[in-house]
Amino acid sequence: MAGLQLVNLTKRFGTTAAVYDFSLDVHDGELMCLLGPSGCGKTTTLRMIGGFATPDGGDILIEGHSVLALPPERRPTAMVFQRFNLWPHMTVTDNIAFGLRLRHLPPAAIHRKVGETLQLVGLPHAARKWPHQLSGGEQQRIAVARALVLEPKILLLDEPFSNLDARLRVRMREELKTLQRQVGITTVFVTHDQEEALTLADRIAVMNKGVMEQVDTPGVLYRRPQGLFVADFMGTMNFIRARYHRDRGALAGGQVGIAARGDWHDGAVVTVAFRPEDVTFVDGDAGIPVQVRRVVNLGHYLEVTVDGSGVAAIKVFTDGQRPMAEGQSLNIHFRRILVYAEGLPLAEIEMPRLTHLRTAEEVVESSPSV
């Protein structure tokens, strides 16, 4: 089992901890994404796995054995960097063969392996070319080939596609995913692009300020983000600050009342979160009255921004079926909401019962940010 375990990994730069008490189990053959905003410690974590940074605490296990004492050249890991991967003074073949030659393989075997790997990354004709004759995408593919040819146990990728243009990036993602499935190699992929993580990963570990926020499959991560950071970071999310009224069994935020019972204490301030696709438009008096502020056509769907009823800028995704115009009055309803309260597990409410509150004193004092 070529699993990778990170145990309470900590890395400090000066007095600040770049990575703090980070633990993660990557299963055999799994594609794990480390996702987070820049400066969250994801690249530092990857570099620690590869041996390019020394942790101040914790352990790194590959197949159950600690690799902490090994220098990068003796770890069973292979890394693909963000850029400047290929050595400009060597041809593609020499780039790929470099590691094999260090291992004193016979020339015939080297030739065969280089050929196979080039075939694998779809560039069989690039063998004699020089790095500067290749496009950015081709260079990164050769870098992947160079990493794979050594048959490492763990493949490490540090934002390998971030310097490519958007279209190519999407294609390279798919290719990498296919390749990873084909080879079955345990992979850790670092990215700040949540779309990339969602499309690529078997599981995603979301990092923030050096700390693990949540590790889950893309589906769970999107549907049930465990904290406000992940909720805000993954995809688009609407937030309403609300206060819990235990006697009425309801959350009140702005002029929106939501029937809910929970472990919150009376008067607790909670955050109600819901996805734009979980907002529906309803006819008649049901739901919460709002005004349309902005309509953006994103091709296969509309992104509508609404406000009113004491709540600011709610984003709604809707198909183009119902006509939308700026200034138009509408009623909205929520299909599903998540309730975040400090120190309490996430509460999930399907099809909550909504009421439009009329009295001013029930308006929760607005807070600048969630």
Partner 1 sequence: MSAVGEAVRERVGGLFWFWSVGAFRRSLPVLFLLGLAAFILGPLLSLILWAFAGRWFYPALLPQEFSLKWWDVVFGNRSVVNSIKYSLMTAPTVTLLSALICLPAAYAFARFQFPGRRFLLLSFLSANSFPKIGLYISIATLFYRLHLMTTFWGVVLIQLMGTLLFMIWIPTGTFRGINRSLEEAARDVGASGARTFFQITLPIAMPGLLVAGLFAFLAAFDEAQGTLIVGSPNYITMPVMMYTLVLNYPQPVGAVFSILLTLPSLVLLLLAQRLLRQGYLAAGYTL
Q: Do the strands 269-274 and 302-308 form a parallel or antiparallel pair, or are they unpaired?
A: unpaired
Is the Cβ of residue 85 or residue 194 nearer to partner 1 in the bound state?
85
Among 32, 40, 67, 143, binds partner 1 (CB under 8 A): 143
- Least Å distance, CB 365 to partner 1, is 50
CA distance 337 to 242: 13
3-state DSSP helix/strand/coil % of the chain, to nearest 5: 25, 35, 40
Residue 163 is a binding residue for partner 1 (CB under 8 A): yes
Among 69, 73, 106, 300, binds partner 1 (CB under 8 A): 73
Is the Cβ of residue 155 or residue 295 nearer to partner 1 in the bound state?
155
Is the Cβ of residue 163 or residue 355 nearer to partner 1 in the bound state?
163
Residue 65's φ and ψ, nearest 5 degrees, are: -110, 140
- Least Å distance, CB 195 to partner 1, is 21
Among 13, 39, 66, 74, binds partner 1 (CB under 8 A): 74
Residue 79 is a binding residue for partner 1 (CB under 8 A): yes
Is the Cβ of residue 133 or residue 217 nearer to partner 1 in the bound state?
133
Is the Cβ of residue 166 or residue 298 nearer to partner 1 in the bound state?
166
- Least Å distance, CB 32 to partner 1, is 19
Is the Cβ of residue 84 or residue 326 nearer to partner 1 in the bound state?
84
Place of tokens 């950071």: 229
Tell me the C-alpha to C-alpha distance, in Å, between residue 293 and each of 62, 304, 309, 345, 354.
Answer: 53, 8, 13, 34, 22
Give the tokens for residue 32.
């794990």
Place of tokens 């609407």: 238
Give the tokens for residue 108.
């015939």
Give the tokens for residue 208.
């923030």
Is the Cβ of residue 168 or residue 211 nearer to partner 1 in the bound state?
168
Residues 329, 330, 331, 335, CA torsion sign? negative
Q: Is 295 helix (H, G, I), strand (E, B) or coil?
A: strand
Q: Find, among 20, 7, 18, 10, the residue nearest to 66 by Cα.
A: 7
How many amino acids of this chain bind partner 1 (CB under 8 A)?
34
Judge contact between 220 and 240, C-beta under 8 A.
no
Judge contact between 116 and 148, C-beta under 8 A.
no
Among 23, 82, 199, 318, binds partner 1 (CB under 8 A): 82
Which of the residues 6 through 65 are near partner 1 (CB under 8 A)? 50-52
Among 12, 27, 83, 333, binds partner 1 (CB under 8 A): 83
- Least Å distance, CB 194 to partner 1, is 23
Which of the residues 91 through 110 are near partner 1 (CB under 8 A)? 98-99, 102-103
Is the Cβ of residue 83 or residue 336 nearer to partner 1 in the bound state?
83
Is the Cβ of residue 84 or residue 329 nearer to partner 1 in the bound state?
84
Interaction mask 307-346, partner 1, x per CB under 8 A: ----------------------------------------
Tell me the C-alpha to C-alpha distance, in Å, between residue 295 and each of 186, 259, 298, 306, 331.
Answer: 43, 30, 9, 9, 16
Phi-psi region of 257 (alpha: psi -120 to 50; beta: other; left: phi over 0): beta
Residue 89 is a binding residue for partner 1 (CB under 8 A): yes
Residues that bind partner 1 (CB under 8 A): 50-52, 71-74, 77-79, 81-89, 98-99, 102-103, 130-132, 136, 139-140, 143, 146-147, 150, 163
